[in-house]
Structure 1
């Protein structure tokens, strides 16, 4: 066999060899490169790598008979072989094959090495210490000489550098992978937090929790088990969702007794529990009827996590799956963090439920007390409505007010978009700063840019002085852009930029001005259709539409009209220094049937005219002023009186007395005696006085 020294490698160039080894990015490719080098110079037929790991483990890298990579690790058989001595003394070992197998018989049992006659183990030493060793094996019966050992040691100096480089690269990749997993877990937690934290209704909350967990973890069964509020009951409410198919959910609500269940065990211990449930065994304690019905003959893996907030145990999150692959240690760690956030959301929902119940008990229709309550609640003082649609709007206002995100208020003209905008501002952290309003529909297009961003002196004809725009005026506060759909298309990019970067230049200026402004926009136009028609920029629309709030028109919430009429009557009469303390029920009924194309603003105008025309303490609303034709069948008393014959003398007196009895002495108004008799109120009062009728 030809004797090899570094001169052999120098023939192909030491620099080239170094580059070849350092270019390798995995241990398997480095091993292949080393094998090619030693085989080319007839130094050995086979090469393996033994590298030290943590906790006395040794990592083996080799190739099988088909030249496929072999990776193996242990801390017993391999770690107690020849490499064991390298940890103490980093010196080269040379063995004849038979002697090595007699001394280390366990190596043959591992079946990692090819047949060999001679063996040489060279330490791999780097700046940080001994990394392991490189094994060289011959099959031709020639022993390794001192000169061979010297050449192999020189080669292994380069190999050690390459090994350390690969280890650094692998560690960097591992750290990047861990960071990616942490980032993904963080995004998952943010998504789940955003999905559930704003849900204040328990049904909505539990449904959203199930939907989100199924989306991310593909879990078949999700249950929220909540203790009763009084904590003394042994019963609990169960909100369950099962996914029989990919996205087909079956939901049910039930009550269970906690005694003796796994749920109770988790609530008391505060520790998560992972358990396999065999078919038809003990399911009455751990599952509900729907789960048994859907998966009766399959082993189910249950993961039960406690739901806690501060020092309160609220219940458990119970996850069931027919295959256990989702409940890995990494996933369990994330699920525990999810359970913590669900605990916060459940506590919020329970608190909201309690507050809602208390509020319902305190509601009443007394006009004076309603005004008193409103005077102590300036944030919602002018927003009146108990309908489900308005309650939803006010709930959205409370949710978004504490954030700084953009809000887009959508609704017809006159629905009260500015009132909602002011409520959001007044309930938020910027309440002590100003809210600046700009009606984009009332602003000429040519002046809008200057109004929004201000201008420098001499920027255009008439700009005789520097002027601040609405954005600067609203710095640290809120800017309300009413009728934002009227902003010209050419101005929208500049508005988009300030929304994204919070900086702009005045018209005619070049200085960057930074502001901190919250944007609330409103419009009665269909911005999504405008985007489709290329009349409004899609990127600006998405930037404004972070949190949309849709205000329902008045015709869709007629149950709010009586309360609105009372509120507006009191407000307007007080402003006019009038005293009106009664509104006929028929007036409220008729007003509730109107279509109100002008919404609350139109209703307020009608009430203002009625207050102005009222003489006395009872609101006198005359039907003709509404300008809405009513079917005669809607007012049967009017239909009856329309065909009544004219009255005279004593018959007229008796008729007036009879009608006054039927109307309980009410003279004016839609159900009053004057309307039923077909007379003006003043005419009837004059005749009553003349005939000596008191009206009682």
Structure 2
């Protein structure tokens, strides 16, 4: 119990030789104006004569403290009773009624003795002061309880506010920011960090730190912390709070890398609180401040309770993150499975019998065994995606997903987010963390179609992923390692684009590790009948059509068509024909195609025109010679063939050759 620092006692001036009854009356008046037990003690000083031999009065309260009030009104606090070198007769002890542990001691140290009248007066004074001191002690007790209750209320309010704030955030980044803000607001701590387990590394933690340094703006940082021998590892593994101060634990501050970093910022004390849930260690709350006195016993207990709530919030955020990632993964896996069902393209679905496609298949088999980047080149519709799927299916990654991305179909503003992902709050509308295509394809293959249409500003980031095998989400600062094989495809001339600075040359060389050139359909006419039959059967099954054959004439017409849209155009033509066919032979609408005429048809047409245009036979050899020479000049010396001189003259090749020999005409000289 401490004496009140605000109590002011006015000295009682009394004339000499007053009877002790009047002294009691004066002391009573003095007691009525006191506000605490120590001030009540001062009411006895100074006692008027003949009671001046009392040198001081000692009050022993039930808290084990002795308060001595001297004749000048000063109060001295002591842990022990008066033990001066005087006889026992100089000490008169009165136990106050109703409070057996409260004693009022009247002491004189002048060698004299207390008289009987003195003792009577002391008894009266004890009877007088008993209810006053008890009342004052009760008031002090109630006042202290009110202060304690107010303090507990404030602590509970802090605990409730912090709990509500941290539990309302389900994402790690938002949770970390809210924890730092709330702890700094309530406790004024300068450096606040959260070390959480890194999903990618078992022996390290990711530290999210916020510094509220004096006269500086708030700084946030994120870094990796190894667990070996650190104070954070000790707190995490032992599941205990640890308070370290520079003047008490100097060796730890010199050895621990994290403490060294905090010391460089001017911190003199650090408090490590484990974050756990159901005895599962989740991380450590790291608090540091330049003044060690900020970590009082009371504040440390409250911070420990807050850390327990933060542990629940961290577990909730981790569970929410896992659910979100699983949801995204399932959604993208569903898309991938639908693509697999709709486009069940595999190695067995590459229909070919031409030598050109045989060479392509051989290249596919060779590169599938490696993990190299593949660049598939070819016109639109040649089956670049089908080749990419076949390479993936033949590779060691076939049990992992193959994710497709069309660089030309995604707007430039969204391409980076779609490819690398983004964190919450990275841009307006980013309400959740989004996994990019690289993270979706983890362990598998990423197929980048139309790579030639990728914006120039995004190409350096793709190059970095191909070289370093790590990405950073949009709006994030955490490096995420990826294990993905990249297969790119384009119908553009990347080499020419690189020379014209329309495509990065370093990215082109990084993609062009193993190029595969797909021949257009017009260069492999032997495959057209096989493809036509395959598409007819597949589409007929899908549409429940009973189609038994394809007319040979129709196949011949299809083989002569140049197919600018390649295999995709052929499939579309077959699909249109299947729709128009109910049963029986396939009803191909050949009028929609500008199919060139056959060689025989061209020859007959030219012969007929030559016969129509043929003039009458020359009358002499000279005229015949001039006409043959003229026709040979028009045909560039070609005698035979559909565009030869024999056809234009309307005679057989052998006949023309015999006449040329007879007339001395040489095709070389013409």
When normalised by structure 1's length, the TM-score is: 0.44
Q: Flag the structure with larger Rg.
A: 2
When normalised by structure 2's length, the TM-score is: 0.46
